[in-house]
Protein backbone atom coordinates (compact mmCIF):
# COMPACT_ATOMS: atom_id res chain seq x y z
CA UNK A 1 0.00 0.00 0.00
CA UNK A 2 1.14 3.55 -0.59
CA UNK A 3 1.07 6.40 1.96
CA UNK A 4 -2.52 7.27 1.02
CA UNK A 5 -3.70 3.73 1.82
CA UNK A 6 -4.24 2.82 -1.84
CA UNK A 7 -3.36 -0.59 -3.24
CA UNK A 8 -0.08 -0.73 -5.16
CA UNK A 9 -0.78 -3.94 -7.10
CA UNK A 10 0.35 -4.02 -10.73
CA UNK A 11 -2.11 -5.00 -13.49
CA UNK A 12 -0.98 -8.65 -13.97
CA UNK A 13 -1.11 -9.24 -10.21
CA UNK A 14 -4.54 -7.57 -9.98
CA UNK A 15 -5.82 -9.74 -12.85
CA UNK A 16 -4.53 -12.93 -11.20
CA UNK A 17 -6.12 -11.99 -7.89
CA UNK A 18 -9.41 -11.29 -9.68
CA UNK A 19 -9.26 -14.72 -11.32
CA UNK A 20 -8.65 -16.42 -7.99
CA UNK A 21 -11.42 -14.48 -6.23
CA UNK A 22 -14.10 -14.90 -8.90
CA UNK A 23 -13.28 -18.14 -10.71
CA UNK A 24 -11.07 -20.18 -8.38
CA UNK A 25 -13.12 -19.50 -5.24
CA UNK A 26 -16.44 -19.03 -7.08
CA UNK A 27 -16.83 -15.55 -5.67
CA UNK A 28 -16.46 -16.54 -2.02
CA UNK A 29 -13.63 -14.06 -1.39
CA UNK A 30 -15.75 -11.28 -2.88
CA UNK A 31 -18.80 -12.38 -0.87
CA UNK A 32 -16.81 -12.12 2.36
CA UNK A 33 -15.45 -8.70 1.37
CA UNK A 34 -11.80 -9.76 1.19
CA UNK A 35 -9.62 -6.99 -0.19
CA UNK A 36 -6.04 -7.77 -1.29
CA UNK A 37 -3.76 -4.88 -0.30
CA UNK A 38 -0.32 -6.21 -1.23
CA UNK A 39 0.77 -9.31 -3.11
CA UNK A 40 3.98 -11.08 -4.04
CA UNK A 41 5.01 -14.73 -3.93
CA UNK A 42 6.74 -14.09 -0.61
CA UNK A 43 4.08 -11.99 1.16
CA UNK A 44 0.37 -11.27 0.70
CA UNK A 45 -1.64 -8.82 2.81
CA UNK A 46 -5.44 -8.56 2.84
CA UNK A 47 -8.27 -7.34 5.03
CA UNK A 48 -11.84 -8.42 5.61
CA UNK A 49 -14.73 -6.87 7.53
CA UNK A 50 -15.98 -8.63 10.64
CA UNK A 51 -19.54 -7.47 10.00
CA UNK A 52 -21.37 -9.95 7.79
CA UNK A 53 -18.83 -12.68 8.57
CA UNK A 54 -19.95 -13.59 12.06
CA UNK A 55 -21.41 -16.65 13.71
CA UNK A 56 -24.65 -16.52 15.76
CA UNK A 57 -22.86 -15.10 18.83
CA UNK A 58 -21.79 -11.99 16.89
CA UNK A 59 -18.10 -12.90 16.69
CA UNK A 60 -15.98 -13.51 13.61
CA UNK A 61 -16.74 -16.97 12.23
CA UNK A 62 -13.73 -19.30 12.31
CA UNK A 63 -14.63 -20.49 8.83
CA UNK A 64 -14.37 -16.92 7.54
CA UNK A 65 -10.86 -16.72 9.00
CA UNK A 66 -9.98 -19.94 7.19
CA UNK A 67 -11.36 -18.61 3.90
CA UNK A 68 -9.30 -15.44 4.35
CA UNK A 69 -6.18 -17.50 5.11
CA UNK A 70 -6.67 -19.88 2.18
CA UNK A 71 -7.45 -17.04 -0.21
CA UNK A 72 -4.28 -15.08 0.45
CA UNK A 73 -2.06 -18.15 0.74
CA UNK A 74 -3.41 -19.27 -2.63
CA UNK A 75 -2.67 -15.86 -4.14
CA UNK A 76 0.96 -16.09 -2.98
CA UNK A 77 1.19 -19.66 -4.22
CA UNK A 78 -0.21 -18.73 -7.64
CA UNK A 79 2.28 -15.88 -7.93
CA UNK A 80 5.08 -18.32 -6.99
CA UNK A 81 3.83 -20.90 -9.52
CA UNK A 82 3.82 -18.40 -12.37
CA UNK A 83 2.14 -18.53 -15.78
CA UNK A 84 1.12 -21.92 -17.10
CA UNK A 85 0.84 -23.48 -13.64
CA UNK A 86 -2.02 -23.87 -11.17
CA UNK A 87 -2.13 -24.09 -7.39
CA UNK A 88 -4.46 -26.16 -5.24
CA UNK A 89 -4.79 -26.00 -1.47
CA UNK A 90 -4.14 -29.46 -0.02
CA UNK A 91 -3.99 -28.73 3.72
CA UNK A 92 -4.98 -25.90 6.03
CA UNK A 93 -4.97 -25.66 9.80
CA UNK A 94 -5.93 -22.78 12.01
CA UNK A 95 -5.75 -21.88 15.68
CA UNK A 96 -8.30 -19.27 16.77
CA UNK A 97 -6.76 -17.27 19.62
CA UNK A 98 -9.38 -14.62 20.37
CA UNK A 99 -12.61 -13.26 18.95
CA UNK A 100 -13.29 -10.15 16.91
CA UNK A 101 -16.68 -8.43 17.00
CA UNK A 102 -16.25 -5.28 14.92
CA UNK A 103 -14.07 -3.48 12.41
CA UNK A 104 -11.75 -5.39 10.11
CA UNK A 105 -9.24 -8.17 10.44
CA UNK A 106 -5.96 -8.02 8.55
CA UNK A 107 -4.15 -11.12 7.33
CA UNK A 108 -0.50 -11.43 6.38
CA UNK A 109 0.64 -14.56 4.55
CA UNK A 110 4.38 -15.21 4.62
CA UNK A 111 5.93 -17.90 2.44
CA UNK A 112 7.57 -20.65 4.48
CA UNK A 113 8.48 -22.87 1.52
CA UNK A 114 8.41 -22.20 -2.20
CA UNK A 115 9.32 -25.29 -4.16
CA UNK A 116 8.63 -26.73 -7.59
CA UNK A 117 5.64 -28.83 -6.49
CA UNK A 118 4.62 -27.42 -3.08
CA UNK A 119 4.31 -24.10 -1.30
CA UNK A 120 3.56 -23.43 2.36
CA UNK A 121 2.46 -20.18 3.98
CA UNK A 122 1.99 -18.99 7.54
CA UNK A 123 -0.97 -16.65 7.82
CA UNK A 124 -1.39 -14.36 10.82
CA UNK A 125 -4.75 -12.61 11.24
CA UNK A 126 -5.00 -9.60 13.57
CA UNK A 127 -7.77 -7.22 14.60
CA UNK A 128 -7.81 -3.42 14.29
CA UNK A 129 -5.88 -3.20 17.57
CA UNK A 130 -3.14 -5.49 16.19
CA UNK A 131 -4.13 -8.38 18.49
CA UNK A 132 -3.64 -11.85 17.03
CA UNK A 133 -6.99 -13.44 16.18
CA UNK A 134 -5.84 -16.51 14.29
CA UNK A 135 -2.70 -18.30 13.14
CA UNK A 136 -3.06 -20.56 10.10
CA UNK A 137 -0.80 -22.60 7.86
CA UNK A 138 -1.64 -23.48 4.26
CA UNK A 139 0.10 -25.97 1.96
CA UNK A 140 -0.61 -25.88 -1.78
CA UNK A 141 0.29 -28.29 -4.56
CA UNK A 142 1.61 -26.81 -7.81
CA UNK A 143 0.84 -28.45 -11.15
CA UNK A 144 1.19 -27.64 -14.83
CA UNK A 145 -1.99 -26.16 -16.25
CA UNK A 146 -3.90 -28.87 -18.17
User: pLDDT tens digits, residue range 21-57?
Assistant: 445 445 888 899 999 999 999 999 999 999 999 999 9
Q: Which of 135, 139, 121 is nearest to 62 (CA)?
A: 135
Domains of the chain and any CATH numbers:
11-144 (3.10.129.10)
Residues comprising the chain, all counted: 146
- The confidence score (pLDDT) of residue 138 equals 98
Task: Say whether 102 is catalytic.
Answer: no
- 44-99, pLDDT tens digit by residue? 999 999 999 999 999 999 999 999 999 999 999 999 999 899 999 999 999 999 99
Element (H, E) at 31: helix 28-32
C-alpha span between 82 and 114 (Å, rounded): 12
Set 35, 51, 70, 102: catalytic member:
70
Amino acid sequence: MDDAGESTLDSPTSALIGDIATEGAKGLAATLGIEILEASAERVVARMPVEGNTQPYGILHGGASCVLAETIGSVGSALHAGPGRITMGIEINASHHRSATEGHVTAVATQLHGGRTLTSYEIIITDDRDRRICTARLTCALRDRP
